[in-house]
Structure 1
Amino acid sequence: MPRRTGSADLPLHTGRVPQWLASRMASLGAVVTQAIVHHYGRDEFLQRLSHPFWFQSFGAVMGMDWHSSGITTSVIGALKRGLGPLQDELGIYVCGGRGQHSRKTPDELRLLGDRVGLDGAKLTRASRLVAKVDSAAVQDGFDLYLHGFFVTSEGKWTVVQQGMNGERRQARRYHWHSETLKSFVDEPHSAIDGPEQGQIVNLTDHRADASRTAQLELLADLGPDRIVGEFDRLTGTEPAQAVLPHLVMPAHHDVRPKDVFARRLHGTLAAAAERGPIDFPELLLTPGVGARTVRSLAMVAEVVHGAPYRFRDPARFSLAHGGKDRHPYPVPIKVYDETILVLKSAVQNAKLGREEEMQAIKRLDDQARRLERTARGPSVDALIAAERAASPELDGRSVFGWERDFAAQGKRTGS
């Protein structure tokens, strides 16, 4: 049977990702994907995408707003751009997107099928059924506006789509995975992410099979005109809907201590300090940047190698590269660019059979897990304060501008 992995409350955010961040998200998303495929294969990457907590953490490590609905749009967009030139090499194709891009998904899938030999008609049917189930069979008050379809050269796929509830200023994300799909109408989701808000009509729940059958019988035996009269005689004996574990994304923008598993954070910091001088000595020759980059690499390494249970606190991954809205701190461009360069070098060398750099990055993750039980470190608030103080030196940037400009302005005004 297909499995549901949880749900999450996602504050609904509007706006666009600035180009300076969008280009970096595309680069980082592509190289992380390559690393996952290199170590674990295409199927595992699809599995990761279908896991809601990993997906949110992936977006957070890219510098997006760690708690918001915007992660869904930006991650799908970044992967579509970043994997485009690599799609035939990796055998992973990204279709769809937000708004009009969502509506073009069937055409994209048909063209892709013709080009690479997939069953385009079958994929198109799957895409349409997935959208129809989450817009009609699951009546939860969210209107779909985004549909991302990830498919491999073997025809396996994952769908990530999202709906919004404008009145509540909330979004709900739905995850599907073809490997666990037995039926489009009988518990098809790998996960549904979004806020709990009372009773939901979910005709895809396994326990609603009798209800689906009864509806067909009513249509056949009575016709639509008599169904309204029959409804008045019903006494409310529907079974309760399944309650999924869910990740609650708070409304506050700032990262607070309660949002982060400090033990795991301290393990990451300790691993970076311990393994960095051994595995990345050349980075440490860059004053003010190298050691900081190793810390970001350790967090990215967990996104590549971590087990599902490691992603229950997506806020922790925002401490790798900050966030575009200055939460938890401005994006440190020097660190971000160096992280991408190191990962690209590791991937390129691995393609040539030289695994040393890829294994060094993996050791960061291994060491973090070993150390987290005993490691001690700064509080979340202290770490964020230190990052904000260092931001001008690290080319910190947000949608509000460069941090060095704010610092210079503060000096001129004496504030």
Structure 2
Amino acid sequence: MQKKSCGFFSRASELQRAPFINLPLHTGRAPAYLVRRMIRMSHAMSKVIIDEYGQVEFLRRLSDPLWFQAFGCVLGFDWHSSGVTTVVSGVLKQALKLDVHGISIAGGKGKKSTSAKTDILLLAENFGLSSAKIDSLLYANRMAAKVDTAAVQDGYSLYHHVILFDKCGNWAVVQQGMNAENGMARRYHWFSDNVQNFVREPHTGIISEKKNPCALDMTAAQSQENQKVCVDLAKSDTNNLKSSVYRLAARDTLDRWLGGDMVVDVVNTSGYEMPRRLDWALFKRIYDVQPGSYEELLSIPGVGGATVRALSLIAELIYGAKASWSDPVKYSFAHGGKDGVPYPIARKVYDESIRYLYGAIEGAEIEREERTDALKKLASFTTRMFPGQ
């Protein structure tokens, strides 16, 4: 499988000459007639793809942001809306059948996203998965959400999370966050084959309209040294860690502190916003665990965005271990721009993406009118993504 390049487009002047997908937050629900149609079509198309290429390739396709977006468009949902994520995931949850597709899906939107753990346990029984594979799925489910909540701090709060898996324990995660200030959504894609380490550039793609000027990405390669120092800090005596925090605060002219052993109010330093409150009892628990790696540190219950950010800033500003403050949004779905911006079109990759969908439509057991309509929508999508091609 050829790896896709990444690109990002943010200037309005480039909208006419570069592929661009927006994910505005939309309220409301898809019409019932449309959902019924999408369930029927996704059931048929998924069967064709899985029969031809297997479950693993279907999971791989869903972890490709462009393919996922095009799939939703073909099914009939508005191509640029954030709703494509929740609706397509919800439709697949109803359409995928164990005896037909060999794939199960857990989780959902809002409160349903937190049911993924329970869903996995129930669905895994139907597969007859070993306890080791079930534990692996549960860990992947938890860590994917943990990373995009705490390790990647880009201003988007997760509200949608699903994990799809097969009988061999292969999995794909699709989750989405929202930013109330800019009214946009951001979607995160994961695939088990792509994850060697949950805290080392694990995503297959991240789709978003805007690139933040300052976002903490502890999964970036540039953050690896910072990760090591964070682990050392967390494993050291809590009083030593407190001393580092006080040293950092003493260097700033905006020192504001709230007393007490359990909670400390942390200042804004060097332009980086520090967490307002630190729970020293949590740091004592971390010290007792003595994590051997950053992934293990992140996996400890209670370790969230505030803990990650505080340790990272101490590691950088006191010990000189720099973290990445570059937004990790990746337009891995953008196969290229027609004028070579930001890179020439990878025709083979683009054609392969479309070929999968075209073949699935042609082979699906659906009415002729639905097939024609789906092909038209696919053609429309490719034209809008790659004008002039």
Structure 1 pair 151/248, CA: closer, same or farther in 2 (3 Å)?
closer
Across the aligned residues of Structure 1 and Structure 2, the Cα RMSD in angstroms comes to: 3.5
Report the counterpart of residue 12 of structure 1 in structure 2.
25
Equivalent position to 1:241, from 306, 313, 326: 326
Q: How far is 1:165 from its partner?
A: 0.6
Instruction: Map 1:263-278; keep pairs closer than 5 Å.
Output: none
Determine whether 1:103 maps to 2:121: no
Determine whether 1:125 maps to 2:139: yes
Q: How many residues align?
A: 274
Contact preservation (8 Å) 2:222, 2:323: no
Determine whether 1:145 maps to 2:159: yes
Determine whether 1:184 maps to 2:198: yes
Determine whether 1:34 maps to 2:47: yes
Q: How far is 1:88 from its partner?
A: 2.5
Report the counterpart of residue 215 of structure 1 in structure 2.
230
* AA matched with 1:196: K
Equivalent position to 2:174, from 145, 155, 160: 160
Query: Counterparts of 1:68 and 1:248 in 2: how far apart (Å)?
Result: 16
Contact preservation (8 Å) 2:206, 2:328: no
Report the counterpart of residue 213 of structure 2 in structure 1.
198
Structure 1 pair 19/46, CA: closer, same or farther in 2 (3 Å)?
same
* AA matched with 2:373: S
Query: Counterparts of 1:146 and 1:115 in 2: how far apart (Å)?
Result: 24
Task: Output one character per residue of 1:358-391: Cα deviation in whole Å (capped at 9) or x when no partner.
Answer: xxxxxxxxxxxxxx97xxxxxxxxxxxxxxxxxx
Task: Output one character per residue of 1:178-217: Cα deviation in whole Å (capped at 9) or x when no partner.
Answer: 0111011111111111131211101011221111111111
Q: How far is 1:31 from its partner?
A: 0.9
Structure 1 pair 219/293, CA: closer, same or farther in 2 (3 Å)?
closer
Uncovered stretches (5+) of structure 1, i.e. residues with no partner: 250-278, 284-288, 304-309, 317-371, 374-415
Contact preservation (8 Å) 1:53, 1:312: no
Q: How far is 1:220 from its partner?
A: 2.6
Equivalent position to 1:82, from 95, 99, 103: 95
Structure 1 pair 182/313, CA: closer, same or farther in 2 (3 Å)?
farther
Query: Counterparts of 1:124 and 1:4 in 2: how far apart (Å)?
Result: 30
Instruction: Map 1:340-379; keep pairs closer than 5 Å.
Output: none
Contact preservation (8 Å) 2:213, 2:326: no
Q: How far is 1:293 from its partner?
A: 5.6
Equivalent position to 2:127, from 113, 116, 122: 116
Contact preservation (8 Å) 2:107, 2:114: yes
Percent identity over the alignment is 36
Task: Output one character per residue of 1:61-86: Cα deviation in whole Å (capped at 9) or x when no partner.
Answer: 22212111000000000000111xx2
SS in 2 for 1:125: helix
Uncovered stretches (5+) of structure 2, i.e. residues with no partner: 9-20, 252-316, 335-361
Q: How far is 1:315 from its partner?
A: 9.7
Query: Counterparts of 2:113 and 2:150 in 1: how far apart (Å)?
Result: 17
Q: How far is 1:34 from its partner?
A: 0.9
Report the counterpart of residue 104 of structure 2 in structure 1.
93
Stretch moving more, 184-193 or 226-235 = 226-235
Q: How far is 1:136 from its partner?
A: 0.3
TM-score computed with the length of structure 2 as normaliser: 0.62
Query: Counterparts of 2:22 and 2:67 in 1: how far apart (Å)?
Result: 15
Contact preservation (8 Å) 2:174, 2:189: yes
* AA matched with 2:326: Q
Q: How far is 1:301 from its partner?
A: 7.7
Q: Which has the higher helix share?
A: 1
Determine whether 1:298 maps to 2:375: yes
* AA matched with 1:24: R
SS in 2 for 1:12: coil
